[in-house]
C-alpha cells in the first residue's frame, strides 16, 4: 500500500515510517507535519491510506480528515497517542470519514504490541479497500417484491454503519424521545477498546439510554445496545443477544450481515433495519434477508453518506424499501413507531 503519514512529532513520524516499511508490501509516499500540509500533499498524490494524528498545530486531524474526504477522498486511519483522553475528537474524526483508530506505537516497546496492532489495522483496511463487489452477481438481480408485513409484538430497530458512523448514529438517534417504544441495537465497525467510549459519547447527547451489550441481554424498549467485542454479535433462538467467533472468514468485526441474518432467522416481531454510511458492502445481504421476511428496510442516500459503499450495496440488491437522506431517517423512524402506537390505541 502507498501510505501517507501525518504527525507533528518527528520521533513519532519516524517510528511510524519504520513500522510501516518493515512490511515490504507498504511504501511511505509522503509525510506531513500538520493537517493543512496533509491536505496539500494529498492533493498532489492521493495515497492508498493515510495515518493521521489527532492533535496537531495549524490544523488537527478531525478538520484535516473532513477536508481530505471532501477534496481528495481516501482511507484514513487515526493514529494517535491521545486516544483515551480525546474520545469525542476520535468519534468526530470517524464521523468525518476516518475508518478506524489505533494508538501510536511506542518507541522501543518490549513486545511490539503497538506495532503489531497498527500493522493488523493496516492489513484489515487493505482487505477492505481491495474488496471486489463479489457475491452480488450470485444473488437475485431483483428479489420478488414483498410488502411490509403487519407483525405483532415489540419493534426491534437494527442499525449498521462503518465509516462516518458515529456522527450519523447521533443524527438519527437524537430525535428519538426517552419513551421511544422500539428497542435499538447498533452494529458499528469499531475495535472493542473504543466502543465503551462511543456508548459514553452517545449517552451524553441522547435522551435514550445507551448500553454496552452483554452476553444474554435482550433488546429493551427505549434502550440502545452496542456490542463491545472483536467477535460478531448474534441473536439466539430465545431472542437474547450474544457473541460468536464464527464465521471467522468474515473480517468485518462485528459484522452487520451476521447480525442482520440472525435477526431475520429468530426475531418474530416487527423489525426496522437501517444501513448508514460505510465503506465495503457489509449488511447488504443481511438487509435482503430482512426484506424478504417482510420487514421495513431503509438505506441512507448517496448525497449525505460520507462513504456510500454499504447503503449502495443494499440498494443495488433492491433490499432497501426506502432511500432517505440522513436528516430524515430518525424522523421517519419516529413516525413509523408513532403510527403503530396510534393503531394500537385505536384498536385497543
Please indicate whether residue 282 is annotated as part of the active site: yes
Specify whether the backbone of 150 is left (phi greater than 0), alpha (psi in -120 to 50) or beta.
Answer: beta
> Which listed residue (53, 64, 115, 189) is catalytic?
189
> Which listed residue (282, 295, 301, 305) is catalytic?
282
Distant-in-sequence, close-in-space partners of 320: CB < 8 Å, separation ≥ 6: 275, 287, 291, 297, 298, 299, 311, 314
Are 232 and 245 a contacting pair, CB within 8 Å? yes
State the Cα–Cα distance between residues 190 and 182, nearest whole angstrom: 24
To which residue does cell 430524515 refer?
A: 328
> Which listed residue (64, 72, 162, 264) is catalytic?
162
> How many other CB atoms are there within 10 angstroms of residue 228's CB atom?
22
Are 81 and 12 a contacting pair, CB within 8 Å? yes
Active site residues: 162, 189, 282
Amino acid at each position: 500500500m502507498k501510505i501517507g503519514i501525518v504527525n507533528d512529532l518527528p520521533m513519532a513520524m519516524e517510528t511510524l515510517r519504520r513500522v510501516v516499511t518493515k512490511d515490504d508490501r507498504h511504501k511511505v509516499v509522503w509525510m506531513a507535519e500538520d493537517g493543512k500540509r496533509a491536505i496539500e500533499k494529498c492533493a498532489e498524490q492521493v495515497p492508498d491510506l493515510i495515518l493521521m494524528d489527532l492533535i496537531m498545530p495549524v490544523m488537527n486531524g478531525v478538520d484535516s480528515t473532513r477536508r481530505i474526504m471532501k477534496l481528495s477522498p481516501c482511507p484514513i486511519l487515526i493514529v494517535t497517542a491521545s486516544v483515551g483522553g480525546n474520545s469525542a475528537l476520535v468519534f468526530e474524526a470517524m464521523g468525518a470519514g476516518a475508518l478506524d483508530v489505533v494508538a501510536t506505537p511506542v518507541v522501543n516497546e518490549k513486545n511490539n504490541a503497538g506495532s503489531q496492532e497498527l500493522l493488523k489495522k493496516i492489513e484489515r483496511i487493505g482487505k477492505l479497500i481491495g474488496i471486489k463487489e463479489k457475491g452480488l452477481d450470485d444473488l437475485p438481480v431483483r428479489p420478488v417484491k414483498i410488502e411490509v408485513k403487519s407483525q405483532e409484538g415489540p419493534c426491534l430497530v437494527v442499525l449498521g454503519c462503518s465509516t462516518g458512523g458515529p456522527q450519523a448514529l447521533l443524527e438519527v438517534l437524537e430525535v428519538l424521545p426517552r419513551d421511544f417504544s422500539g428497542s435499538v441495537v447498533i452494529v458499528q465497525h469499531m475495535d472493542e477498546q473504543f466502543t465503551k467510549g462511543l456508548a459514553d459519547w452517545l449517552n451524553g447527547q441522547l435522551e435514550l439510554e445507551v448500553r454496552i451489550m452483554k452476553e444474554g441481554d435482550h433488546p429493551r424498549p427505549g434502550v440502545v445496545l452496542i456490542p463491545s467485542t472483536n467477535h460478531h454479535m448474534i441473536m439466539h433462538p430465545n431472542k437474547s443477544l450474544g457473541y460468536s467467533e464464527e464465521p471467522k472468514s468474515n473480517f468485518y468485526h462485528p459484522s452487520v450481515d451476521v447480525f442482520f441474518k440472525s435477526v431475520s432467522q429468530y426475531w418474530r416481531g416487527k423489525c426496522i433495519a437501517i444501513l448508514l454510511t460505510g465503506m465495503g458492502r457489509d449488511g447488504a445481504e443481511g438487509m435482503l434477508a430482512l426484506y424478504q421476511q417482510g420487514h421495513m428496510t431503509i438505506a441512507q442516500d448517496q448525497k449525505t453518506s460520507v462513504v456510500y459503499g454499504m447503503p449502495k450495496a443494499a440498494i443495488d440488491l433492491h433490499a432497501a424499501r426506502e432511500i432517505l437522506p440522513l436528516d430524515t431517517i430518525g424522523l421517519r423512524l419516529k413516525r413509523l413507531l408513532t403510527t403503530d402506537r396510534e393503531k394500537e390505541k385505536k384498536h385497543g
